[in-house]
Amino acid sequence: MKTRLTTPGWLLGMLALAQTAAAQTPTPPPRQAAIADLVTANHILANEGVLDGYGHVSIRDPANPQHYLLARAGAPALVTAGDITEYDLDSKPVSNSPAAGYQERFIHGEIYKSRPDVVAVIHCHCLDVIAFAATGVTLKPMYHMGYFLGEGAPVFDIRRTAGITNMLIETPALGQALAQSLGKGSVTLLRGHGAAVVAGALHQAVGKAYYLNINARQQLQALQLGGKIAYLLPEEAARAEQNYERSWDFWKSRLPPLR
């Protein structure tokens, strides 16, 4: 602003303060926004029945691709920002955090190692896929919202890697074996356990986990109807990529008010 008189320094300072105050909703620092989004993802996945008391979701640290952010062990519905812990890709907590981490955090760390393109990882006991994993019937895309199944849906069987276990991916070696099963795709089932789902964005991962179950239900219905099933062709599936942002908005709006 031009003035005939020299603007005193103190006045300029006052004007700067006034401008700052006028920006009523300041943008949160990126890390804080990322953590808030991850907390919301936890709540959405629980509220929509993709996760129950078990399961977890992480994001690659936006500030450091060699780290990832994951809640400490607890039910996803109850996760708060204070639970979010930073891990290196060996799944060791970066801050000397006393809180217990998920036994299966190696699912996340090892996938982030093998997949530089992946920004979010979800582990669910996805109820509708258990039967597919148990019978070896391959999930395929029934409609465009399940497009990512066109990339394949391998089944990881822990027994081939480690013999008789408690079924949990609780070591780096097991996480690596799981990441190998995942390959370059969006999902791998785990026999007798659930699934791991990945994406290049958190909202997209949440959508994939949700529609994985919907697609499984529809495929079972189609197999019950019998006859030839017209799945999406691989080229159709590839073109039908979704970002699921509109679903995210819908699911976020359905979250119960915080108590």
Rounded to whole angstroms, the Cα distance separating 194 from 114 reads: 20
Rounded to whole angstroms, the Cα distance separating 110 from 78 reads: 25
Q: What are 137's two structure tokens?
A: 């019937």
Residue 72 is a binding residue for a second copy (CB under 8 A): no
153 CB burial (10 A radius; 0-12, 13-18, 19+):
buried
Q: Applying CB under 8 A, which part among 26-34, 81-89, 176-184, 185-193 lies near a second copy?
A: 185-193
Q: What are 11's two structure tokens?
A: 């006045």
Q: Applying CB under 8 A, which part among 2-10, 33-41, 103-111, 143-151 lies near a second copy?
A: 143-151
**Within positions 1 to 40, which residues make up the interface with a second copy, using CB under 8 A?**
none
104 is catalytic: yes
Cα-Cα-Cα-Cα dihedral sign, residues 57, 60, 66, 69? negative
Single out the residue of 24, 25, 95, 166 in contact with a second copy (rule: CB under 8 A): 166
**Nearest distance in Å: CB 12, a second copy:** 35
HEC readout, 95-161:
CCCCCCCCCCCHHHHHHHHHCCCCCEEEEECCHHHHHHHHHCCCCCCCCHHHHHHHHCCCEECHHHH
Residues 50 and 127: beta-carbon distance below 8 Å: no
Single out the residue of 31, 52, 67, 114 in contact with a second copy (rule: CB under 8 A): 52
Residue 53 is a binding residue for a second copy (CB under 8 A): yes
Residue 145 is a binding residue for a second copy (CB under 8 A): yes
Nearer to a second copy, 16 or 134 (CB): 134
Single out the residue of 49, 65, 82, 136 in contact with a second copy (rule: CB under 8 A): 136
Q: Applying CB under 8 A, which part among 19-27, 45-53, 58-66, 84-92 lies near a second copy?
A: 45-53
| Window 186-225: contact mask with a second copy (x via CB under 8 A) | -----xxxx-------------------x--xxxxxxxxx
Residue 100 is a binding residue for a second copy (CB under 8 A): no
Residue 250 is a binding residue for a second copy (CB under 8 A): yes
Residue 159 is a binding residue for a second copy (CB under 8 A): yes
**Within positions 106 to 135, which residues make up the interface with a second copy, using CB under 8 A?**
125, 127-128, 130-135
Cα-Cα-Cα-Cα dihedral sign, residues 199, 202, 205, 211? negative
Residue 160 is a binding residue for a second copy (CB under 8 A): no
Residues 178 and 109: beta-carbon distance below 8 Å: no
**φ, ψ for residue 155, nearest 5 deg:** -115, 120
> 104, 170, 241, 245: which is the annotated catalytic residue?
104
Which one-letter amino acid corresponds to residue 47? N
Please report, in angstroms and rounded to a whole number, the separation of the first and last CA atoms in the chain.
48
Single out the residue of 14, 32, 236, 243 in contact with a second copy (rule: CB under 8 A): 236
- Count the residues of the shown chain that bind a second copy, applying the rule CB under 8 A: 71
Catalytic residues: 104
